[in-house]
Amino acid sequence: MNEYAIKVENLTRMFNGLAAVDHIDFTVKTGELFGLLGPNGAGKTTTINMLSTLLKATSGYGEVAGHDISKSKDDIRRSIGVVFQEPALDIKLSGKENLEFHAMMYGIKKEERRERIKEVLELVELTEKKDVLVENYSGGMKRRLEIARGLIHKPEVLFLDEPTLGLDVQTRRHIWDYIKQLNKEGGVTIILTTHYMEEADFLCDRIAIMDRGKFVAMDAPARLKDILGGDVVSMEIEGNADALIDRINSLDWIKSMTRHDETLSLTMEKGERRIPELIHEAKENGVNVTCVLLRKPSLEDVFLHFTGRTIRDEEASQSERNLAMIRARMGRRMGRR
C-alpha cells in the first residue's frame, strides 16, 4: 500500500488567462480525511476535477492511488469514487436501479454486484427505500444514494465535492456521520471540498484553506486555530476608530488585530479580563462600543487572518464577479445585433 494516496506538485489550471488553481503543492496520506476549505470560486472543484481526470491540468504533476493523472486516466478512474457537487442520479430509476447501472458500468459481475448493492444500501440506510423512484427521495436521501454509488466498486480514494450543499442542519450532520464511518471504519481515503467552516472542523484530519486558486494555510484544524492563540474578542464600534486602533496596536498583550467594517477582532490571552480595559480605551479615544463578543478562535478567524476577509465576503465578491461577467456577455451579444 502506498504511503500517500495523493501527491500534487505545482498543479495549475488556467481559464482564459486566469489561474483557477495556481501552483499548489500537497500530499494526502492513505486513510486520511483531507479537506479543501474555501468560498465558491476558490478553486476547490477545479482541483477535484483535475485529480479525478475530468479536467486536464495546464501544468504541474498529480498522482492519485499511485497513478499519474496525465498518463493513467483509466487506472485512476477505477481507483476512485466521486460524489459531484451537482446531482448526477437518474431520478426516473429506483435507488437500486441507479446502483445496478453504475456497478455494471464498472464491469462488476452479477453475484458480486448484488452483494455490493446490498452492502452499500445498508451502509447509508436506504434498504427500505431501494425500490422507490429517486424523484421521490428527499435531498438527504439523494445525497446518501450518491455516496453509496461512489462506493459501489470499493474505491481507494473517494472525492466528495460539497457533499452537504443545500441540506438542512440535521441532515447535514447525518451525512457527516456516514463520512466519518467510511473513513475511520472503512479505511477509505477521502478528499472533501466544502465552504462550511464547521463541516471542515468536525470531519477533517487536515485542511487546506484555498483563496483565489492558492493555499493560504494548511494543517490540522486545531493547529490552524492555535496559530492565532488565546481568545478572540470582537467589538462593534461607532466613531473614528483610527486613534483607538493606534492605541490597541501599542498594547503588548494584543497578539493580533483585524478590522472588518465596524468590527475589530482582537486576539489575546484571558480575554474576559481584558474586556473592561478595552472598553475603557475606546471611551478614552471617543469611540462607542455597541457590542462585545468573547470566543475561542475559529476557522473563520483563521481565514480572516490569512486573507483579510471573511469567507462570506469572498462568496459575495465572487457572486458580484459572476454577475459582472454575465452582464458583459449580454452587452456583447446586444452589440452584435
What's the pLDDT score for residue 319? 52
What's the pLDDT score for residue 315? 65
How far apart are alpha carbons 252 and 255 in whole angstroms?
A: 8
DSSP code per residue over 282-325: HHHTT-EEEEEEEE---HHHHHHHHHSS-HHHHHHHHHHHHHHH
Written as nine digits, the cell of 4 is 500517500
Q: Which helix (H) or strand (E) holds 218?
A: strand 214-219
What's the pLDDT score for residue 40? 86
Neighbours of 96 (CB within 10 A): 19
* Residue linked to cell 441540506: 167
User: Quick one: residue 16, left, alpha or beta (phi over 0 = left, psi -120 to 50 = alpha)?
Assistant: left
User: Quick one: residue 140, left, alpha or beta (phi over 0 = left, psi -120 to 50 = alpha)?
Assistant: alpha
What's the pLDDT score for residue 320? 52
Buried b or exposed e, range 250-269, using 16+ CB within 10 angstroms: eeeebebebeeeeebbbbbe
In this structure, which CATH number among 3.60.10.10, 3.40.50.720, 3.40.50.1010, 3.30.70.100 belongs to the domain 229-296? 3.30.70.100
* Residue linked to cell 506538485: 9
What's the pLDDT score for residue 258? 86
pLDDT tens track, the chain, 337 positions? 689 999 999 999 999 889 999 999 999 999 999 999 998 889 999 999 999 999 999 999 999 999 999 999 999 999 999 998 888 899 999 999 999 999 998 899 999 999 999 999 998 889 999 999 999 999 989 999 999 999 899 899 999 999 888 888 888 888 899 899 889 988 899 999 998 999 999 999 999 999 999 999 999 999 998 888 788 999 999 988 888 999 998 999 998 888 888 889 999 888 889 999 999 999 999 999 999 999 888 898 888 888 877 777 666 555 555 555 455 555 555 455 5
| 63, 157 contact by CB (below 8 A) | no
Burial of 231 (0-12, 13-18, 19+ CB in 10 A): buried
DSSP code per residue over 183-198: HHTT--EEEEEES-HH
Q: Which helix (H) or strand (E) holds 61?
A: strand 59-64
Written as nine digits, the cell of 249 is 496596536
**CA 329 to chain CA mean position, Å:** 30
What's the pLDDT score for residue 24? 97
End-to-end CA distance of the chain: 60
How far apart are alpha carbons 245 and 108 in whole angstroms?
A: 65
132: Cβ contacts below 8 Å, ≥ 6 apart: 94, 95
**CA 130 to chain CA mean position, Å:** 30
Stretch(es) of the chain classified as CATH 3.30.70.100:
229-296
What's the pLDDT score for residue 87? 80
Stretch(es) of the chain classified as CATH 3.40.50.300:
4-224
What topology is assigned to 4-224 in CATH?
Answer: Rossmann fold (3.40.50)
**Residue in 209, 149, 188, 294 with CA at minimum distance from that of residue 26:** 209
How far apart are alpha carbons 3 and 169 in whole angstroms?
A: 35
* Residue linked to cell 498529480: 62
